[in-house]
Amino acid sequence: MQYPDSFAVSTPSDREIRVTRVFDAPRALVFDAFTKPEFVQRWLLGPPGWTMPICQINLKVGGAYRYVWLHEEDKREMGMRGVFREIASPELIVATEEFDEPWYPGEALDTTTFVEEANLTRITITVQYKSKEARDIAHRSGMEHGIAASYDRVEQLLSSMQAQ
């Protein structure tokens, strides 16, 4: 898979994974793409073959979100939920993350920043895990491939949103 030059995955500490990507769109539009269910359902799908039949987002501090993905071929489901701890629209989202069937131990904390420069928006998501073990499990999973595919769909979505 080819990644854009602006896509990067790093491990800034022994409990964190950081993912960055630049999108060719204004920050407010990118923030909407990341926070409105009608948009999230179109891009947050990971590798091919998955859909998101459930996407609930109560975007307020203390509000919850819930995602359920469905693998079209074998009908396998994967669910995730969390609570928003901090929101500064369109600059910052801090939320917890926990899978229904955990594949790493504990809850994670996601901090997403949206920084605009010259009509380009840099997204940085830092996921802080409960332990180095949890971070290492997530890092070894190949999660960057699913994120990269999803972010390619975000770019396509943003292009269509700007064309309207």
Dihedral sign computed on CA atoms, order 10, 47, 50, 136: negative
What does the pLDDT look like over 80-129, one tens digit per residue? Answer: 999 999 999 999 999 999 999 988 989 999 999 999 999 899 999 999 99
Q: Give the β-pairing of 108-117 and 77-88.
A: unpaired
Chain centroid to CA 135: how far?
16
Q: How far apart are CA 156 and CA 153, in angstroms?
A: 5
Q: Is the pLDDT of residue 2 over 60?
A: no
Looking at the DSSP bridge assignments, the partners of residue 147 are none
Write the DSSP symbol of residue 14.
T
Q: Which residue has the higher pLDDT, 9 or 47?
A: 9
CB 45: neighbour CB atoms within 10 A? Answer: 17
| Average model confidence (pLDDT) across the chain | 94
pTM: 0.93
| C-alpha torsion 70→53→134→96, nearest 10 | -170
Give the integer Cα–Cα distance in Å for 79 and 68.
4
Note the pLDDT of residue 3. 63
- Determine the Cα–Cα distance for residues 94 and 126; give it in Å rounded to an integer: 10
Q: Inform me whether the pLDDT recorded for 157 exceeds 70.
A: yes
Domain ranges (residues) in the chain: 8-163
pLDDT at 9: 95
> Percent of the chain having pLDDT more than 70?
98
Q: Tell me what pLDDT residue 48 has.
A: 84
Give the pLDDT score at 164: 77
Domain 8-163 has CATH 3.30.530.20: yes
